[in-house]
Structure 1
Amino acid sequence: MTDPRGRSFQILSIFPNLSVFENVRVAVQAQRHGLGGLFFDAHGITALNDRTWSILDAVGLVERAADLGAELPHGAKRLLEIAVTLAIDSKLLLLDEPLAGLAEADRVVVADLIKKLSEKHAVLLIEHDIDRVLAISDRISVLHQGRIIADGKPADVAKNPEVVAAYLGASRGSEAQARPTVERLACVPESRLLDAQGVAAGYSGSTVLSGVNLAIHEGEAVALLGRNGVGKTTLLRALTGSLPSSAGTVTFNGATLKGLKPYQINRLGISLVPEGRRLFPNLTVLENLQIAMRPGGIGIAEVFELFPRLRTRQKARAENLSGGERQMVAIARALVVPSKLILLDEPFEGLAPAVVSEVMEALVKLRGKIAVIVVEHHAETVLTIVDRAYVLVNGAVAFEGAARTLAEDHALQARLLGVVQDDASAAVARQAIA
C-alpha cells in the first residue's frame, strides 16, 4: 500500500553523489516498482523519466538536473528534498523546518513553493519563521510546553495573548523595541586579540575562503554575516584549527596559531559553540558544565546568574532540554573553560523569539568582558547587540565596518545578504539559488 504521507526533515537527506535527476528518479522508481525496482536500469523507461522531469519542473530544478547533490547550495538542496518527497505521490506533506538555515532569498523561493504545493496537497508545516508561517498558512496550531495554546486563522493566532507571550515574546509591533540595546564599544588598536590575514581554506581541494582578513579586539562583539554557503562556518573552523588553512596567517593574543591542534588553540582561549550544540545527551546540565570546567573559567553560580533558566534545569539530562536550553548550556560550557574569544555558530537558529531574547540578553552581559564572534544569516537579529560586522560574499569579505552602519543601510543589506523587502527585490532574489 502506498504511504500517503511524504516527509521532509530538518536535517537534509539526499544522495550527495547522485545527480539531481537521479535523486528524484530513484524515488520515482521506488514508488512505481518497490525496492526491487531500484536494481534495474531506468534510463530508457520513458514513463519514469517523464515523471522525474515533471517533478523537477514543479520545484524549479530543471536547469540543475545534471548537478550532483553535494554541489548544490543549501536552498537548492532543500528544493531537491521536497522534490523527492513529491515523487512518492503523497497526499499529505510533512515538512519539518524546511526554512531552517536558509538565507532570505532562499526562504522566499521555498516558501513560495510550499504555498504552491498546498493547492494540490495537504501540508503540515513545522516552522519557527513566524512571518513566513503567517503568510503562507491557512490555519496555524501553536504548541507550547506540550499543549496546544492556539488554533485558528493566522490573523487570529498572531493576536492571541498566549501566543504573543509564549512564542513571540512581545507584541509584533513592539518586537524590535524589545530587543536589547547596547552602547557600541570603541576599538582600541592595541587591544587587538585576534588577527587573521589572507586566510584561505576549503574542502577536498576546493576553495571556500579566499584571502579573508579579520580582526577582533578584546571584549568586542562582532557579527559574521552572509548567505548560506559563503564560508562563515568554514572560517570558524579555520580559526579553531579543525580545518587547516591553505594560506594566510592567524595570530591570537600575540601567538601564531599555525600548526596548532584544535585542543591547543582552545587552551589558548578560543572556544567554538557549534551549530549543533553537541552536548552529552545522557549527562545533566550540571554534569555537562562540570566536565568542561578549568581554572580561570566562570563558576556555576555565575552561569546561573547569566542563564537563570538553567538553575531550575540543572539536574535535567541534556536530551530532555529544549533547543534554547541546550544553546544556553553550550554557551555556558565555553565560559567555564575559560575563554577570551567565543565563536557562536548560528546561536539563534531554530529558537523561538522569546528564547532568542534570553540568549541575546546574556550575550549583552558578556560584552566588554569576553570577545564574541556571532555567525548569523539574519542581520536584523544580531546587529543590535554587536559593535562591528563583517559580511562574506563568495568566500571573501565584502563589508567590514560598524554594525550601526550596516543596520541602517537597508539597500546594502539587500545587496549583500539578499534581504527581500518588496515585490521587485523578491523577483531578483528568486534567482539566488539558480
Structure 2
Amino acid sequence: MLEVQGLKAGYGLSQVLFDMHLSIAQGQVVSLIGRNGMGKTTTVKSIMGLLKPSAGSIRINGTEMRGAAPYRIAKAGLGLVPEGRRAFGTLSVRENLLATATRGKWDLARVYALFPRLLERQDQLSRTLSGGEQQMLVVGRALLTNPSLLILDEATEGLAPIIREQIWSCLSTLKAEGETILVIDKNLKEMARVVDRHHIIEKGRQVWDGTPLELAAQPELSQRYLGV
C-alpha cells in the first residue's frame, strides 16, 4: 500500500532524511521508532505532502506521490492523526468529526461506538475537552475520512495511563478489523500488542526492521537505537 524508497528531505540547509526506506502492506500495522530528532515526524510530513522531499520515491498503491499536495495525499487514502492533537478549537466535537468526513464504512455512529466519551461531549467545543478526549477526537476525525492507511504520530504522548490504554485498545480493535496503520510511538510494550513489524530510524535512515519478537530477542538494538 505504501512504499518509501531513498527519501531525502529537510528544512532549508538542514537535511534530516538521507536515505529513508519504509514499506507497509495492506492490513499491516507497522511502527516507525527511534530516539527524538532522528526523522520520524519528518518522514510523516514528507509522506503526507506537508514537506517536499528533495529526492526519493513515495508510492501509494503503486502511484508515485512524492511532492504531491496534501489534499491529493488525503484523496489517495492516507489519514493522519498529527502530533499535538490539533482539533479545531472553535468547533464542537460533532462539527470536528464531520468537517472532513467522507462516505465509507466509518460513520459518526461507529466513531461514537468506539469512543463513547465523544458522544457524551458531542455538543461541547473541542477546546473545552481534556487532552485525552481531544486525542480521541482527532483519531475519530481521521477515521471518518475513511483512510486506506491511518498514520498516528505520537498519539499517546502526554496522556494519562488510562487514556493511553483506551487508545491502544482502539488500535487493537482497528487491527482486528483489518485496518492498515503506521504508528509512531515510544512504548514498545504496548506496541507489541498490535504491531506486525517495527522499523527503526537513526539519523534519517532506516537501520533495522523486524517483528516485535525479533526486537525483544535483541536487547542491544533497543540500547543502541532507542535509548532504553
Fold match (TM-score > 0.5): yes
Write the distance in 1 (CA, Å) between the matches of 2:67 and 2:18.
Answer: 19
2:212 paired with 1:403: yes
Q: Runs of 4 or more off by more than 6 Å in structure 1? A: none
Matches within 5 A, 1:321-400: 321-367=129-175, 368-400=177-209
Partner of 2:66: 258
SS at match of 1:349: coil
1:297–1:337: 8 Å Cα contact kept in structure 2?
no
Write the distance in 1 (CA, Å) between the matches of 2:227 and 2:67.
Answer: 37
What amino acid is the match of 2:220?
A
Write the distance in 1 (CA, Å) between the matches of 2:174 and 2:60.
Answer: 20
Write the distance in 2 (CA, Å) between the matches of 1:349 and 1:204.
Answer: 28
What amino acid is the match of 1:382?
M
SS at match of 2:83: coil
2:89 paired with 1:271: no
Partner of 2:221: 412
What amino acid is the match of 2:129?
L
Deviation digits for residues 94-144 of structure 1, max 9, x if unmatched? xxxxxxxxxxxxxxxxxxxxxxxxxxxxxxxxxxxxxxxxxxxxxxxxxxx
Structure number with greater CO (CA < 8 Å, separation at least 6) is 2
RMSD: 1.3
Give the Å deviation of 1:380. 2.8
What amino acid is the match of 1:354?
I
Write the distance in 1 (CA, Å) between the matches of 2:201 and 2:71.
Answer: 27
Give the Å deviation of 1:318. 0.6
1:223–1:383: 8 Å Cα contact kept in structure 2?
no
Write the distance in 1 (CA, Å) between the matches of 2:20 and 2:99.
Answer: 35
2:172–2:193: 8 Å Cα contact kept in structure 1?
no
Alignment CA distance shift 1:408-1:357 (3 Å): farther
Structure 2: segments with no counterpart, 5+ residues: none
2:53–2:67: 8 Å Cα contact kept in structure 1?
no
Give the Å deviation of 1:276. 1.4
Give the Å deviation of 1:297. 5.2
Q: Which moved more, 1:344-353 or 1:367-376?
A: 367-376
Give the Å deviation of 1:260. 1.5
Give the Å deviation of 1:404. 2.1
Write the distance in 1 (CA, Å) between the matches of 2:99 and 2:7.
Answer: 33
Write the distance in 2 (CA, Å) between the matches of 1:356 and 1:199.
Answer: 31
2:20–2:204: 8 Å Cα contact kept in structure 1?
yes
Question: TM-score if structure 2 supplies the norm length?
Answer: 0.95
Give the Å deviation of 1:252. 0.5
Structure 1 counterpart of 2:34, from 207, 216, 226: 226
SS at match of 2:68: coil
Deviation digits for residues 194-221 of structure 1, max 9, x if unmatched? 1111111111022101111110011211
2:7 paired with 1:199: yes
What amino acid is the match of 1:394?
K
Q: Percent identity of the aligned residues?
A: 40
What amino acid is the match of 2:219?
H
Write the distance in 2 (CA, Å) between the matches of 1:194 and 1:321.
Answer: 34
Deviation digits for residues 296-349 of structure 1, max 9, x if unmatched? 251111001111222212122111111111111101111111201111110011
Partner of 1:292: 100
Write the distance in 2 (CA, Å) between the matches of 1:259 and 1:223.
Answer: 23
SS at match of 2:14: coil
Write the distance in 2 (CA, Å) between the matches of 1:254 and 1:220.
Answer: 17
2:17 paired with 1:242: no
Give the Å deviation of 1:272. 1.4
Alignment CA distance shift 1:323-1:408 (3 Å): farther
1:289–1:329: 8 Å Cα contact kept in structure 2?
yes
2:47–2:66: 8 Å Cα contact kept in structure 1?
no
SS at match of 1:276: coil
SS at match of 2:15: coil
Structure with the larger strand share: 2
Deviation digits for residues 10-32 of structure 1, max 9, x if unmatched? xxxxxxxxxxxxxxxxxxxxxxx
What amino acid is the match of 1:388?
R
Write the distance in 2 (CA, Å) between the matches of 1:414 and 1:203.
Answer: 29
What amino acid is the match of 1:377?
K
Structure 1: segments with no counterpart, 5+ residues: 1-192, 420-434
